[in-house]
Amino acid sequence: MKEQHYNVTVKVFEGLNELTRQDQLLLEKAIAARENAYAPYSNFKVGAAALLDNGEIVLGSNQENASFPSGLCAERVAVFQAGARFPGVPILSLAISAGSDEEPSKEPAAPCGNCRQSIYEYEHKQGKPIRVILRGSLGPVYIINAISDLLPLGFNSSQLNSQ
Ligand code: THU
């Protein structure tokens, strides 16, 4: 028996002003995208902004539904839109800002399991890491170098027999 260890490094920044200009701008777009969230059921608004290798920035926000499971998270709205509008163009970074209307979140919210899997699909396909930049409504910023760091032992197409 041996043990394998999977580590995740999270870079913690005290605020937006510690980020590179490019990361700052991307996060500001994610924060602004939160305003377009349609979240009447949870009142928890999430905005996402994906920076693509061609310089385009694609936005997303969570879109809820009276039939709850039919809604979609901000991250998937953004990355699916990137895939649909710019097929084959790698996603370099994804900034995410999340928080409830009633109580500003002081800690970043990391993407849910479904979103990690969906984002990882693109990272695996493009063979280049997708950086993840996280912030609540206030407080510190977390940067993770690759979505696969948040999905150890992630499932990908190489595990399917036919691939
Ligand atoms: N949500 C996101 O948009 N991203 C996440 O990573 C976590 C949750 C949304 C889904 C739902 O509209 C609301 O936040 C509450 O779960």
All structural domains of the chain with their residue ranges:
10-152
pLDDT of residue 106: 87
Give distance in angstroms: CA of 90 to centre of ligand 1.
24
User: What is the pLDDT of the chain when averaged over all its residues?
Assistant: 96
Residue 108: DSSP 8-state: P
User: Three-state DSSP class for 94?
Assistant: strand
pLDDT of residue 26: 98
pLDDT of residue 78: 98
b/e map 107-126, b = 16+ CB within 10 Å: ebbbbeeebbbbbbbbbbee
pTM of the predicted structure, to 2 decimals: 0.96
Give distance in angstroms: CA of 62 to centre of ligand 1.
6
Residue 31 has pLDDT above 70, yes or no: yes
For residues 14-23, average pLDDT: 97
Quick: pLDDT tens for 33-88.
999 999 999 999 999 999 999 999 999 999 999 999 999 999 999 999 999 999 99
CATH 3.40.50.150 fits 10-152, yes or no: no
> In which band, very low, low, confident or very high, does the pLDDT at 163 lie, cut at 50, 70 and 90?
low
Residues with CB under 6 Å of ligand 1 are: 39, 42, 44, 46, 62, 64, 71, 73-75, 109, 111-112, 115
> In which band, very low, low, confident or very high, does the pLDDT at 108 lie, cut at 50, 70 and 90?
very high
Share of the chain above pLDDT 70, in %: 99
Residue nearest to ligand 1 atom 3, measured at CA: 73
For residues 24-30, average pLDDT: 98
pLDDT of residue 162: 64
Residue at token pair 């979240």: 39
Catalytic center residues: 75
* Ligand 1: nearest atom to the Cα of 46: 3
* Edge-to-edge strand ranges of the sheet holding 57-61: 10-13, 141-144, 131-135, 91-100, 44-52, 57-61
